[in-house]
Structure 1
């Protein structure tokens, strides 16, 4: 047994003391999913072939689905990633039960199932599988996956995507439970090779008989366990010392994995008096981040009125609110108390945004964690997200110059993250829904739940699990699980083409070559026909030299290797140059420079200060991206 997941539910145990964990730590993009709970009217039944393997009913009464907006679902996958040993076969058992009372017939919810980018089910239809006898019938499906031999652990991907070809009533997916079993090889072996230990044995014991090698492995294993125990002791000592130091060092905290090992993985550590206590986040000083009482939050949102909901994501709903006796409008993001998701995102947002202030970053006003709640309070952005002004919207199309200014503002915010703070901050989820607009159309980068502190001066990258949004993911990061600030540059390159073409980053309904905007736009850019795929509203409204420069910027951002991509400061400068070219054409003064030669703004013009706001940029240029690998 590798893993047993109660998908969409909580950790649970049943007869035999077999543990079913919640799946939140394995899912790639929580904000694209919703948890779903069966109401009492749905009675769980089992297929006759199921008798030999009956799982507790609670596993089937919860599920994870995609968000309710079907047009968005077409651009998304629901994906889980697991680290497993190479060189083995794995049995993947997926548990299904249609628990939505609105879905009772075949072809209402049909989806595809992918294992490691291979289609294993093209038309998964749970109601059809059960003989079109309605919902509430539990079943499971088994699939085999073979991982090639290699060093270190490898990823096993499970992904679900709506089937468009069958034209179902709902473009959505569902999964109730997931199990992965490791299958022994032909010798009966289940052990994973450890390349470090193996190489040590080869150097020290090259010709030792097999028994001695076994003893050597045991000794190495014991030494490893002792080392791990020592590390755990050190961790507890760190926590103890920090507790002793109290408020004098309140800004220093133990690593997240220590906090989780001490307090569990569901909520911030709070005492039994949940109505007034504060938890982990409360150690932040009050002068950088305000603590709101739960009563204040309820008053600000009219007791979380549905009429004030601005949106709904994986973390929870976002409400429009008013504080300071109605004089200040705010956006209040409330974590979903049932899903038990978002602890890490909650902490990361507070850790980062409480210390950052910039005109092009959304400001965090405060937080609330009473009653085990996870609530964040931000400045209110009255014009919503950039995407809401590009496509699938009733908003009027944006003029090209205004689009350029929004891109410049977002680039300034990202440049500040990369170079203006004490440490490099990698956003990790740059996309048009995370670029917000205030009442004056000033762009502000938002949603720092996935952000990471960048590499130190001694390192070139940070090794971390892949997280982000499909269509925007840096393929180099996707392949190597090594992230740098250049991963943000790649994602921003996708945003640039999205702004120019007014098309989503992924659209599976299009022809194969057009599904991924980054690949399609790059191909057109390299063939010199980028003008043929731009937003029709912009036809004849972009200065030719401006379009040429803008296309070169986006192309450079999407370079195959991270070292070939420009730093965000260079991207910013080039966008400002493109805006200057556009303004010169609109003002009748002609365009600057001869853009018909092979030189680009990156090589032809001397760099200037990339931001007119003096915030201590260090001026560094670390030139440290490939086409997106889609699970389907």
Structure 2
């Protein structure tokens, strides 16, 4: 008996040691680069970025020890910091080259290397960003960039910064050179770079790619250089470089690139599903988080068979592209349960893709590479071409479920026969050229007519450059809106962070839809059980209440084992008043992802409870930082940046989504601030889809918050996107004056902030009612632009109001003016002080009385809240409700 027990023990111990060795082997396949150089160009110090990655300055004493040499650069500091920058490192310093210059990196010989170039097109040492035209070449005669303008490219893609990633073949000489050369065809041209990454990488292109359109043909990457065009975590979270598997790659949300009528549904592997990499696929191919989430077509086979799950990408013509699709079956376990076809640019790439047949098991990753050559489009004037990836259920295979699934996607451009990877800059259209000509004429006007940059040298040129950038950005956004594109097109998405949404299985037969939600909206959101909600809020502990609104209380909570902070909005259990808002909030936010919109993580509808789960906004509402608060007052520049962020969110609603969305309840309590002070528009309970192309308005019952309501909408019950513009104009005055939109304790003419501010703006006495805390820090021209924008927003008739794109343009311009002033570009006389106040024309005049004091507004604010309570609508955080 003892012998048998001993033998059993030995067998168990052997199995344990085998599993331990297997786990170690699997973990060992993660990649640790032999070369990992992060160079913060133009800096003399070593610093970490927002992700904790350490960068060395190219003027640091450590640079020679790292095997790096270079010359002919001028270390420079950016003139201003765009709010969209993910970190000041490496973007706020640059190496500027006014003649050819070369970086030389000593690296290992036998490995490929990732090269990432970071560009932030700003003014450096007085140089105009629009003059930055240059080329970049690498070892072996490779052309990475040619006649490249980071300025034009960033504006065309509506990005504050640009990252270009390349994969170079092994360096036989033991070093990699990167040569920056200003373009000789452009006068005053210069080159610059903010950051350079050189990271060794394993050979990830070991298998030949299937050639699309050529039967039984394949393509080997071999010694080709590649450029990463897109890298998407399909159906899942944004994955930061610090969370990648050794290669510091960034994986973006796929939502902006989805095209066609159906967006499908997202799904995530359950907690018991463990992703297991097969022996032939190392874990550095893609992080496990890519394979744990996916996008599918949906639960209805009749719907699925009628459409393709599609993604559209803008690329450069006359290059060969490798499209890598990552698959992992996280729900099914049998062959022929889910079979689909893959199409690229309307050609069959692969028929009858059955992931279980390929992997023999559930939760096992696999990837497939497809190569396609993209030639010029049929129109010779086309500036770029499209790459279309589509999935469709296989009818011929007669699977158990008509559905398709995709977990991740990467698109790489291959160098041509001449070693070239460079594509053209985006070209302005004829319409934009007309605008630019106007800007040139504006630029050439006498100096006295345009003194917004004070006495700074090159002021007019800098201002024209700002206007150029904003014209280009606004035009490109409007162009995409007219074309009906779902979001930003280009090499970077419009936004960087979004939550993975999780649905119940659409295969098991369980419905994703709740009793109040459409099937698609319910499946696009993660469903929480009431037990999970109670655990997150400690059974709705009162000490965790962070706000109360018409919908109910808002609790601070923790989900996923306490790793994620959230805000949980709970409806009043004794009332059904919020059912419609609950439904609308999910229907709207489940389909929207944007940096400046609050992210809806999921919902709970169980046991007569209705709860909504959002990202937690660490700094609460904008209003609580303006008045009736013990918190420090926001400085003027930060108020401008928050205004711009909120405007970006509203502009996306109006033009960036598939249909125009009208928020209908824009106010300072519905603008939330995250831990980095990024503004996010919240509370979509009253939102409406805007008018179609054949309509000028939507006729609907009046809803909103008093003090912010569009008077034209109130009178005629005709809702347009200009109704949001009016409300946002009130928000701008609220930010400037730090007083409520309505204050019934004041004299009649001062009760409405919009009316009172408009009255003072037209009289030239607006400076008298500005928040005293910021009055001395506002540059006169910046205030003039800001006030004029707010004034136009609150025009009585919608036709006289600007679009949100134009509002965004003006606010960004105001920020540039303020930053120029703070950097010494304008005279000190331009600020608004207690004695020198601003007239309507922007000139300094002797001021009179100081305007309403902040504490007087505070005392009356409770009464203002009482007025707002007359209309009971939901919001995410409002300490007093409406």
User: TM-score, structure 1 length as denominator?
Assistant: 0.51
CA distance in 2, matches of 1:314, 1:478: 21
Rounded Cα–Cα distance in structure 2 between residues aligned with 1:521 and 1:392: 20
Give the counterpart of 2:583 among 347, 354, 359.
347
Instruction: Give the distance between the partners of 1:629 and 1:355, measured in 2 at CA.
Output: 29
Match of 1:450 among 670, 686, 689: 686
Q: Match for 2:773 among 537, 542, 563?
A: 537
Determine the structure 2 residue equivalent to 1:333: 569
State how far apart, in whole Å, the 2-side matches of 1:500 and 1:416 are. 24
CA distance in structure 2 between the partners assigned to 1:537 and 1:587 by the alignment: 21
In the alignment, what sits opposite 1:425?
661
1:289 pairs, out of 525, 549, 564, with: 525
| CA 1:279–1:287: 2 relative to 1, 3 Å | closer
SS of equivalent residue, structure 1 residue 385: coil
Partner of 1:521: 757
* Cα deviation, residue 371, structure 1: 1.2
| Residue-by-residue CA offset, 1:50-89 (whole Å, 9 max, x unaligned) | xxxxxxxxxxxxxxxxxxxxxxxxxxxxxxxxxxxxxxxx
Tell me the residue number matched to 2:733.
497
Matched, 1:323 2:549: no
Where does residue 438 of structure 1 map in the other structure? 674
Q: Per the alignment, do residues 248 and 342 of structure 1 end up closer, same or farther by CA in structure 2, a change over 3 Å counting?
A: farther
- Residues 1:577 and 2:816 are matched in the alignment: no
- Inter-partner Cα distance in structure 1 for 2:762 and 2:303: 54
Q: Take 1:294 and 1:277, find their aligned partners in 2: how far apart are those partners?
A: 16
How many residue pairs get matched? 337
What is the rounded CA distance, in whole Å, between the counterparts of 2:681 and 2:776 in structure 1? 30
Structure 1: give runs of 5+ residues left out of the alignment: 1-244, 253-275, 601-627
Out of 785, 789, 803, the position equivalent to 1:567 is 803
Please say if residues 470 and 630 of structure 1, whose CA atoms lie closer than 8 Å, have aligned partners that are also in contact.
no
Q: Any conservation in 2 of the 1:460–1:484 contact (CA below 8 Å)?
A: yes
Match of 1:375 among 590, 604, 611: 611
Q: Give 1:145's aligned residue.
A: none
2:825 aligned to 589, 593, 606, which one? 589
1:484 to 720, 723, 734: 720
Counterpart of 1:408 in structure 2 is 644
**Partner Cα separation in structure 1 for residue 743 and residue 303 of structure 2:** 49
Query: Is the Cα–Cα contact under 8 Å of residues 277 and 370 in structure 1 kept in the other structure?
Result: no
Shift of 1:372: 2.3
Query: Equivalents in 2 of 1:289, 1:553: separation in Å?
Result: 37
Residue 491 and residue 286 in structure 1: after superposition, are their counterparts in 2 closer, same or farther (change >3 A)?
closer
| More RCO (CA 8 Å, sep 6+) | 1
Unaligned runs of 5+ in 2: 1-298, 307-511, 831-837, 843-866, 871-882
The normalised TM-score by structure 2 is 0.37
How far apart are the structure 2 equivalents of 1:396 and 1:597? 29
1:512 alignment counterpart = 748
CA displacement at 1:367 relative to structure 2? 0.4
Contact 2:521 2:586 in 1 (8 A): no
Counterpart Cα distance in 2 of 1:356 and 1:493: 24
Bigger radius of gyration: 2
Query: How much has 1:514 moved relative to structure 2?
Result: 0.8
From the superposition, tell whether residues 597 and 387 of structure 1 become closer, same or farther in structure 2 (CA, over 3 Å): closer
Give SS of 1:572's match: helix
Q: Take 1:389 and 1:585, find their aligned partners in 2: how far apart are those partners? A: 24
Written as runs of structure 1 = structure 2, the 5 A alignment for 1:300-315 is 300-315=536-551
Secondary structure, aligned partner of 1:366: strand
Query: What is the RMSD of the two structures over their aligned residues, measured on CA atoms?
Result: 3.1
- Distance, in Å, in 1 between the alignment partners of 2:869 and 2:530 is 42
2:764/2:840 contact within 8 Å kept: no
Preserved contact between residue 761 and residue 840 of structure 2 (Cα < 8 Å): no
Work out whether residues 475 and 629 of structure 1, in 8 Å CA contact, stay in contact via their aligned partners in 2: no
Structure 1 residue 280: Cα displacement:
2.9
Instruction: Show the counterpart of 1:213.
Output: none
Q: After TM superposition, give the deviation of residue 278 of structure 1 in Å.
A: 3.8
